Amino acid sequence: MHFLIFGETGQVARELARAVPAAGHSAEVLGRDRADLRDPATCAAAVAATGADAVINAAAYTAVDAAETDAETARLVNAEAPGAMARAAAARGLPFLHISTDYVFDGSAARPWREDDATAPLGVYGATKAEGERQVTMAGGPHAILRTAWVFSAHGKNFVKTMLRLGAERDTLSVVDDQQGGPTPAADIAAALVTLAEGIAAGKPGGIYHFAGAPTVSWAGFAEAIFAACALPRKPSVLRIPGSAYPTPARRPANSALDCTRINDLYGIAQPDWKAGLARVLKELETDQ
């Protein structure tokens, strides 16, 4: 298969650039210079003109707090552009794969969220991602929406790299302990997307799938695991705090755990072990130094 991928510099797109050739496929990866998601028509034109067999949108507006005051840009990037791409892909019968988020939920459930649970975003970011899901679904073509959470890798901005940077500077770090989720290695998301694309092209079911790391952990617990596994010469202590002690412009869901049964049952894609993924990322970061 030949893939058209949006989001050249993002964490998942960079891992797709590795995963696609490793799976025996090829890809063209578009950056903002060629397909700016603030211009949905340009993105749709790229899909209409592609010679690819499948399209993956790995680009998004992910600045959760900034979205509260930049709602129009977030809507263009997270809803209008994916919708335009999906309609262009549907017109040609191309499988369209799109990444969404745990933030489409309000976090109030006492169990992991399932694909058919009602969405109720707490902020602009989640609302624009939920709208993107609706537009992709309504486009009517073969598609898959992969909801994931707490993405990390050796690339870009993410919690792992932030903890390593701050941990090298401070003796103690205060980290929120009452928000639970599944840290997810970007490399595993990329591999899952390739498998989904292959399956949809072969006639397997599309729709919404959940894919996040296991076991569920709090941000504070994740931070402690990062410091336990990393090679910092002097490791900070983690002070576990409630989210109320670290106010942000956008509210975060307390429970971001995702039930990943469906993708395992239909595609044989198991939940990734985030601890194993963390070890790989830390090794890559050490190698790059």
- What is the rounded (10 degree) CA torsion for 14, 19, 22, 27? -70
Q: What is the sign of the dihedral through the CA atoms of 181, 183, 189 and 191?
A: negative
Known catalytic residue at 267: no
H/E element holding 160? helix 159-167
Q: Can you tell me the distance from the alpha carbon of 10 to that of 15, in angstroms, rounded to the nearest whole number?
A: 9
Q: Can you tell me the distance from the alpha carbon of 164 to that of 87, in angstroms, rounded to the nearest whole number?
A: 41
**Catalytic, out of 61, 103, 125, 267:** 125
Which value, in Å, is the radius of gyration of the alpha carbons in the chain? 18
> Ramachandran region of residue 261, left (φ > 0), alpha (ψ -120 to 50) or beta?
alpha
Burial degree of 253 (CB within 10 A; 0-12, 13-18, 19+): buried
Residues with catalytic function? 125
